[in-house]
C-alpha cells in the first residue's frame, strides 16, 4: 500500500432483522466494485453519529478507529475537526467572549 492510500473500512448499520457478516460484505464488494475500492474490513455499529441537521459526524467515527484516519505529514496544521477537544475549546472561547462583551455593555450603562 502506498503512503497516500487508506484502508477502506466502512461503518455498517444493519436494518432491523437483517443479518450479514464481514465475509459476506467483503465478497459482495469484491464482486461489484473495482479492486482498488475493495474492503479490507467492516465495522458494525448500532447507529451513525449525526448532527442536529442529520449530517454524519465522520470525525467521531474516525476517532473510534484511529488506524483508518488519514496520515498527514508533520507540517500539516491540525484541523479543528480532527480533534473534538479543539471544538470544545473553541466553543468555550466563544462563550467567554460573549460573556465579556455582555459585562462591558452593562458596565457602560
Phi-psi region of 17 (alpha: psi -120 to 50; beta: other; left: phi over 0): left
10-residue averages of pLDDT along the chain (109 residues):
59 90 89 84 88 90 65 54 66 85 80
Contact (Cβ atoms closer than 8 angstroms) between residue 44 and residue 10: no
Which residue ranges make up each domain of the chain? 7-70, 78-109
- pLDDT for res 53: 93
CATH for the stretch 7-70: 3.30.300.30
Report the C-alpha gap between 98 and 35 in whole angstroms.
Answer: 52
DSSP state of 19: -
Contact (Cβ atoms closer than 8 angstroms) between residue 80 and residue 87: yes
Amino acid at each position: 500500500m502506498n503512503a497516500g492510500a487508506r484502508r477502506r473500512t466502512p461503518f455498517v448499520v444493519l436494518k432491523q432483522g437483517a443479518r450479514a457478516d464481514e465475509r459476506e460484505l467483503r465478497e459482495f464488494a469484491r464482486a461489484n466494485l473495482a479492486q482498488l475500492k475493495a474492503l479490507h474490513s467492516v465495522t458494525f455499529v448500532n447507529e451513525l453519529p449525526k448532527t442536529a441537521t442529520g449530517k454524519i459526524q465522520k470525525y467521531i467515527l474516525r476517532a473510534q478507529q484511529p488506524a483508518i484516519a488519514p496520515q498527514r505529514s508533520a507540517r500539516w496544521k491540525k484541523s479543528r475537526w480532527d480533534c473534538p477537544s479543539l471544538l470544545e475549546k473553541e466553543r468555550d472561547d466563544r462563550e467567554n467572549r460573549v460573556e465579556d462583551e455582555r459585562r462591558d455593555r452593562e458596565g457602560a450603562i
